[in-house]
Amino acid sequence: MNVTTHVAMLLAILSGWFLALAASARFLPMSSEFLAIGPEHRIVENLGPEARILRTGSHMVVVNMTGGEAGKSLYADGAWIVLPALANGCLAFRKR
C-alpha cells in the first residue's frame, strides 16, 4: 500500500468517527451536554429556557440540555453541527 492509500484510509476512519458522533447527538444522545458548532450568537439567542450555557467560543457553544430532542433542537436553534460534549473528551464513553 502506498502513502495515498494510507491517508485515504485515515481520512475515511476520521470522517466515520465524526459522522457517528454527530448522528448520536441527533438521534441517540449519550450525554446531556452538547457541543453546538455554528454562529454562537444565533445559537445563544434561540436557546430555550431548559438549556444552560456552559461555555462559548468562536463558532461554538457547549450547553447542558435534557430530553431526547435536545440535539435536534440545537440544529433548529442554528447549529451547523451538534456533537456530544463528553466530560473526558471525545474518546471517553464511560459515565463518571
Evaluate whether residue 15 is within a structural domain. Answer: yes
Q: Report the b/e string of 23-58 with b at 16+ CB within 10 A.
A: ebbbeebbbebbbbbbebeebbeebeeebeeeeeee
Q: Chunked in runs of 10, what are the mean pLDDT values of the chain (96 residues)?
A: 84 82 68 86 88 88 82 86 70 50
Calpha distance 59→14 (Å, rounded) = 21
Evaluate whether residue 94 is within a structural domain. Answer: no
Evaluate whether residue 36 is within a structural domain. Answer: yes
How many folded domains does the chain comprise? 1
Evaluate whether residue 96 is within a structural domain. Answer: no
Which pLDDT does position 14 carry in this prediction? 83
Calpha distance 8→82 (Å, rounded) = 25
Evaluate whether residue 90 is within a structural domain. Answer: no
Which pLDDT does position 5 carry in this prediction? 86
Find the domain containing 37 and state its range: 3-84
Evaluate whether residue 91 is within a structural domain. Answer: no
Which pLDDT does position 15 carry in this prediction? 85
Single pTM value for the model: 0.65
Which pLDDT does position 96 carry in this prediction? 47
Evaluate whether residue 89 is within a structural domain. Answer: no
Calpha distance 88→82 (Å, rounded) = 17
